[in-house]
Amino acid sequence: MVAEREKAWAAAASVPDPEVPCVTVADLGILRDVRVENGVATAFLTPTYSGCPAVDFIELAVETALRDAGFDARIERVISPPWTTDWITKEGREKLRAYGIAPPVKGSNSKRALFGETVVACPRCASEKTERISEFGSTACKAQYRCTSCGEPFDYFKCI
């Protein structure tokens, strides 16, 4: 049954994040596990930011992906332990940077990190001379920064 499990995992893991389509739910570490029993695949998902409207969308997308792969699908929402940006994989961080979004500098649950009081390197030129323009970027999960070296604005994926 290992093959079944791998097939189900691959299907669920390929689902892109609706807000940052360059990364998948597996890259973000949202997809915790997939188990297959009697043809029923259960995906265990941990929501990122609570209240993020993307959560329902992600659950539906993963369920659909599992169905398309030939499984009866179930979604289990795992709230504890809470998701942190530490769970973003190395590959996920690379993809974020390539997409022009500064990946979280360091996973932390502290309020300080959430409000962006960290040195954020520019995803384009790697300069650390950056300034925060706005607490909220294109989505509530991101803050907007500008690089004072190359002048480019960019999104920073906030640490939580």
User: Distance between CA 70 and CA 128 in Å, rounded?
Assistant: 47
Give least dist CB 156 to Zn ion, A: 12
Give least dist CB 64 to Zn ion, A: 38
By beta-carbon proximity to Zn ion, the closer residue of 127 and 138 is: 127
Q: List contacts with Zn ion (CB under 5 A).
A: 122, 124-125, 127, 147, 149-150
Q: Which residues pair with 102 in a beta bridge?
A: 156
By beta-carbon proximity to Zn ion, the closer residue of 66 and 147 is: 147
Which structure tokens are listed for 68?
């398309």
Which structure tokens are listed for 115?
């409000």
Give least dist CB 127 to Zn ion, A: 5
Order across the sheet with 142-147: list the strands.
101-102, 153-157, 142-147, 130-134
Report whether the peptide linkage leading into residue 153 is cis, meaning its omega lies within 30 degrees of zero.
no
Which structure tokens are listed for 37?
């029993």
Q: Taking a C-beta distance cutoff of 8 angstroms, is the pair 132, 67 a contact?
A: no
Give least dist CB 36 to Zn ion, A: 45
By beta-carbon proximity to Zn ion, the closer residue of 138 and 149 is: 149
By beta-carbon proximity to Zn ion, the closer residue of 42 and 130 is: 130
Q: Which residues pair with 37 in a beta bridge?
A: 40
